[in-house]
Structures are given as C-alpha cells and as structure tokens.
Amino acid sequence: MGNSLACFSPKITARSSDSAGPARPDASPRPASWLPGSTSCKKNKKKREETAAAAEAEAADALIREQAIAAVMLLKQHWSGGGDENGDALHLFRRSTSTSGLFPSAPSGKSGVKQSIARSSTSRRRSCNDALLPPLQQILAEEASEADGVETKHFVLVHGGGYGAWCWYKTIALLRRGGFKVDAVDLMGSGIQSTDTNNISSMAEYVKPLIGIIDELGDGEKVILVGHDFGGACVSYLMELYPHKIAKAIFLAAAMLKNGQSFLDMFSLQEGPSDLMRQAQIFLYGNGKDQPPTAINLEKALLEDLLFNQSPAKDVALASVSMRPIPFAPILEKLTLSDANYGSIRRFYIETQEDYAIPASLQEAMIKSNPPEKVFHLKGSDHSPFFSKPQALHRFLTEISKIP
C-alpha cells in the first residue's frame, strides 16, 4: 500500500547534502502541476482509468461474443442431439484445463448451489481473434452432407410392440437434419391408429400402413428399413415381399427371425424366462376368457424397469401415456423367409447392452443363429435406444447407410 501512495507524498523541501544517494540537481520544490490536487494530475489519472476501463470492456465484449457463439452452438447441439449421451454438449467449448461449462448450471444436488462461470487456466488475455468454434455455416454444411454418397437417403422406421411412431421423434429430427428422408408409421392398432388391437388377426393386417409406404415408392427407389423389437419381425416380413425395394435392413434390439420362426419362438433361444417380463405381461381376451388371448398389454408400473431403465424421465412419461396393447395373432405367426428374397437383402444388427426386455444374451443368440453382415453395440442403452442413446443410435444409422 505504501508504494501505491508514494506518488501522492511529495517532498517539497530540497534533499540535504548528506542524504543517501545522489541529490537532484534542482532541489527546488516540484511544480504545482505534479501535486495530487492539480488539474494535470487529475487528467492523467482519469486517462489511465479510461484506458483500463476500455481494455476491460473490450475483454468483456470478447467473452460475451464467445459465450454468444457457444450458446448458439449449444442450442444447435441440443436440437440435433449433439454432445455426449447425457446431453452435455458443453465439452465442445471447453478450453485449456477448465473444469466446468461456460454457463452457470442449474442447482446441483441437494445443496442448490449454482456453479460459477468457468474460466480458462491460461494467463493470456483472450482475444477476439481466437478461433473457438468452426463457423456455423461450416457445421450446417457438414450436417447437410451426411446423406451424400449413400445408396438411398430414405429411412423407414418401424416401431416395436406396444410403441408407435411417436417413439422415433428424436431419431427423425436427427436424420432429417442430416439430409435424410424419414418415414415413421403407426402400425395397425398402434400409436394414433384407431383399429382395435383385439381385432387384428394376422401379420399382413398388422403391417398394412408399412406396406402402403413401400407401395408408393417410385421405380428404382429403395429404402433402409429399421425395425425395433417386434418391428424386426415386421421388417423381415416386408423383406420377403419387397426385396427390390429395400436396400438394407437394420434390426434394433429386435427379433431377427429365421424361416419358420415366430416372434414367440424367438424367446425359446433364451436360457431362462425373464421374471420382469412375466410380471409385466397382461393378457387380454377380446373374444372371452374361454378363447385364446387377443392382445398383450404391459403393466404401466413396470414399464420403466422393463423398457426404459436408462431413459430420461420425460420420455418415460411420454411412453406411459402412449403405449398400447400388442396384437397377439401376429406374435404367433410363423414367417416364410426365403434365401432368394429375404436372404438377398443386407442385414445389420444394433445390440442394446442394458436391455431387460430382449436381453443382450438373447440378442447375441439370434445373431449367432442368423448372422447379419455387421453388429453394432450400444453400450449403456436400455430397450429403447431412441430415448436413452439417441445420438449414438443416429451415428450408427448414418454409418450403416454409408457402408458401400
């Protein structure tokens, strides 16, 4: 503090001859303009303050610009599903050894204390010329080119038993942003399709909406079919009917059946029945209890544990009000699959490794029994990867579309 005040403690009397150090040639009092109360001193001090304020404002503006760019990119990452699987896209903007996001986070844990804005550990002043992120135009162009050079840009997404087209909402958004054309359809008695599930008596009837999409394809136009869960059996059924309309078939935690098998037969490959699945099943008897079941429903209280054990709460809530019974007749129907038709289409499998509905061991048994061209593994995914691992699922779908 003494050093900072020294300039405001002038010695007006001359230095004595015996003072330590050389004396000033002119020992007369300093000019009055040097005094702290003088106009000149005030001007100099004001100029220094203005310079410091301008430098601080420039640094603040640069930081605001950085944060504005980062905010745009973070929002874009959220829309496109970027970032890591927990929705954290901030890692794209972290610099040096900063340990937290650029922006204040929501209250953390029970303490409710918000984190402060992260700072870089470098001592160098940030510059407006620092290249934090690629230009927005460049990233948009890269996304739009995801579908370039592929055999077909058209995905058709087939939901599993009890689900509906609603379950694909994240995947639809991601694929469309990448330049793909995407169709997701409600099978009969599913989603908002009004047919009574108890009245569906065959696979042909169940997949009518899907057949409608394939029938509308132009000459030479092909699609990539993606089947989830029981949707895998539906995809297999279409592969047999339309081998020249299907470029690739992707089985996502799905029934990948062989000739003469039904969806129900698939579970014979499982070493032991799932207690959770057995507890969740509710058989419906639309023709009376003295007749075979007409549909299967799932106990809503067990949905999260069975199908959504790694999924966000908002998606579990969506599913809890959207799931519908599964028609029983198509589940029992044994498929006729020939090498000439079904066998001519390239198949790929995406395995979900935290799946309690079709466990990884059962998926691996199907893969071993009926090997596809390539297998992809979704680590940390439950039975509904379009909810629990949407970004990783999107990457796999895009990668498969590009396999020559």
DSSP class of residue 161 equals T
Q: Both tokens of residue 132?
A: 């934090």
Give the whole-angstrom CA distance, residue 348 versus residue 367: 10
pTM for the model = 0.67
Count the alpha carbons within 13 Å of 357 in the hemisphere toward its beta carbon. Answer: 29
Residue given tokens 């599993």 in the structure block: 160
Structural domains of the chain in order of their starting residue, each with its CATH number: 152-402 (3.40.50.1820)
Note the Cα 116 to chain centre separation in Å: 26
CA torsion sign for 331, 250, 370, 357 is negative
Sequence length of the chain is 404
Give the whole-angstrom CA distance, residue 21 versus residue 187: 98
Residue given tokens 């509710």 in the structure block: 282
What are the CA-CA distances from residue 191 to residues 96, 196, 227, 233, 328 (Å)? Answer: 48, 11, 16, 18, 17
Residue closest to 257 by CA, chosen among 232, 274, 238, 239: 232
pLDDT one digit per residue (tens) for the chain, 404 residues? 444 444 434 444 344 344 444 444 444 455 554 455 556 656 677 777 777 777 766 665 665 555 555 554 544 454 444 444 444 433 333 333 333 333 333 333 434 433 433 444 444 454 555 445 455 455 545 655 666 777 899 999 999 999 999 999 999 999 999 999 999 999 999 999 999 999 999 999 999 999 999 999 999 999 999 999 999 999 999 999 999 999 999 999 999 999 999 999 988 777 666 788 889 999 999 999 999 999 999 999 999 999 999 999 999 999 999 999 999 999 999 999 999 999 999 999 999 999 999 999 999 999 999 999 999 999 999 999 999 999 999 999 999 999 99
Give the whole-angstrom CA distance, residue 56 versus residue 51: 9
Give the whole-angstrom CA distance, residue 195 versus residue 102: 50
Give the whole-angstrom CA distance, residue 381 versus residue 308: 9
Helix or strand or coil: residue 370?
A: coil
Give the whole-angstrom CA distance, residue 133 versus residue 137: 11
List residues with catalytic annotation.
Answer: 229, 355, 383
